[in-house]
Amino acid sequence: MIDLDLLVPQPEEPPWPADARRRWLIFGAFALVLFMVSGAAAPAGPALVQVRTATLVAASSYRILGDALYVAEVRPDGNWLTAYPLPAGPPRWSTRLDVLASNVALDEMDGVILVGMFQPGVSGDHTAALDRVTGALRWRSPLNVAAVDRIRGQVVLTAYPAARIGSGPPPADVMAVSAGTGVRVWSYRRPGGCEGDLPYTVTDRRTGLAILCSNGQLELFDLDTGKVRARAAVPETLAVGFGARVVALPDRVVVSYPSAGGSVLVSFDLDRLRTDWTSRVEQGNYFISDCGPRICLGNSTAALALDRYTGRIVWSVRPVGFAAPLVDRYVLVAPAQFGQIQLVDIGTGRVMMNLGDWSAEIAPVGLPMFFRSDGATGRTWVARVSEQPSGVRVLGFVPDARPETCGSSRGYLVCRTVKDTVTVWRFAVG
């Protein structure tokens, strides 16, 4: 989920220094927690094939998108984005960007590479769209990327006047533009004192922009037109200012508010904003996220999974420090007995396996990958969740890599090394 005044990337693919989506941060920085794979035997030699290495400066961001590695970096002569084809070959292009710093988000849609800068208080371009083939600048904007609408080929942009869209005045501009041309499709002025939410990635035509205001009015805006599709009057206790929060999920809108030491969640459909269920849970201050077949709730002391159609609690745990979803099938949980990190099935709550001294890839697109550093040899071992048989399969090791900088995409692994390079390896997806 993305707060429309908070620039948070939401890559659909693995995370990078600035490209960790809010969905994957809401339960805490779990990536540095280490855990051990039970019964995973290390192979005799490297099973990953190195295909490319690029030199990095200190201030750099990088990401694999489609068939290329993109590296954004600050050089003495400005800020540049370079596209390197996979698996090998000379750079396709290198484009200088205005004001964009090293702390950027990278995404791709409709033939353009979206580059977003996350620097509040800095004037200039906060979003730039480059032609994927040539690197030519297609369009730019001082607004931030709030969502990528892959159904309509649009990018939803917003201003950055506050830490959260519902934190009060000043009001914020929200605008949808064509991804390929930057031409405005619609615009909306979010009033001060209202809170809004929209999934970062839109893949369902029914999904809309949800706005909850201090007068107790809930509105759902259509992403085709930017006009109000439905309205609902909510009780005063659900209004902004009474601790209420609104979350737009792909198939519904959920409003939560504190009540007598717990939380009440109310689900609204996307047709007329009719209430379809109400659920009360213990404790409060939960972050709410979309978890495929479930709706996940989490805070520092509890993690719950609700049936998304009834609001019924399907399973719950009392984690130590964190519980974080990995794709739409697994949750990483630190249960009451610290040191026994577990991989949990998101649908059933069943523990798939106990884990130990491996670090997890944040926001994976496919099956989660895990990394373990061997200080004695300088190797970083790479493992992946396996479906058949169920468990974790060690793929091999890579030399001199920093595990916390690694990510994967479509059969490629990329890591920053201790030698100030970014290196790409190929692995078998099956």
Q: How many CB atoms lie within 10 A of CB 186?
A: 17
Q: In this structure, are residues 255 and 245 in contact, taking their beta carbons and an 8 Å threshold?
A: yes
How far, in Å, are 94, 247, 266, 323, 324 from residue 313 at the CA level? 51, 18, 14, 16, 17
268/261 Cα distance (integer angstroms): 23
- pTM of the shown model: 0.82
How far, in Å, are 318, 319, 323, 419 from residue 336 at the CA level? 6, 6, 12, 39
How far, in Å, are 55, 61, 95, 184, 276 from residue 77 at the CA level? 17, 17, 12, 32, 57
Q: In this structure, are residues 377 and 344 in contact, taking their beta carbons and an 8 Å threshold?
A: no
Which residue in the block uniquely carries the two structure tokens 């690029």?
Answer: 54
365, β-bridge pairs: none
Going residue by residue through the chain (430 aa), what tens digit of pLDDT does each one get?
433 332 223 333 333 333 333 333 333 323 333 333 333 444 444 478 899 888 887 778 889 998 999 999 888 888 899 999 998 889 999 999 987 766 788 999 999 999 998 777 777 889 999 999 999 999 999 999 999 999 999 999 998 544 344 445 568 889 999 999 999 999 999 888 788 899 999 999 999 999 988 778 899 999 999 999 999 987 655 555 567 889 999 999 999 888 877 889 999 999 999 999 999 998 877 889 898 889 999 887 788 899 999 999 999 887 766 677 777 777 877 766 655 677 888 888 888 777 777 777 766 667 778 888 887 788 889 988 776 666 678 888 888 888 888 888 888 999 988 888 899 999 877 6
Q: Are strands 287-291 and 275-282 parallel, antiparallel or unpaired?
A: unpaired
Which residue in the block uniquely carries the two structure tokens 């698996």?
Answer: 87
φ, ψ for residue 210, nearest 5 deg:
-95, 135
pLDDT in the model for residue 226: 96
95, β-bridge pairs: 81
pLDDT in the model for residue 13: 35
pLDDT in the model for residue 387: 64
Q: In this structure, are residues 179 and 154 in contact, taking their beta carbons and an 8 Å threshold?
A: yes
296/167 Cα distance (integer angstroms): 24
- For the chain, what percent of residues have pLDDT higher than 90? 35
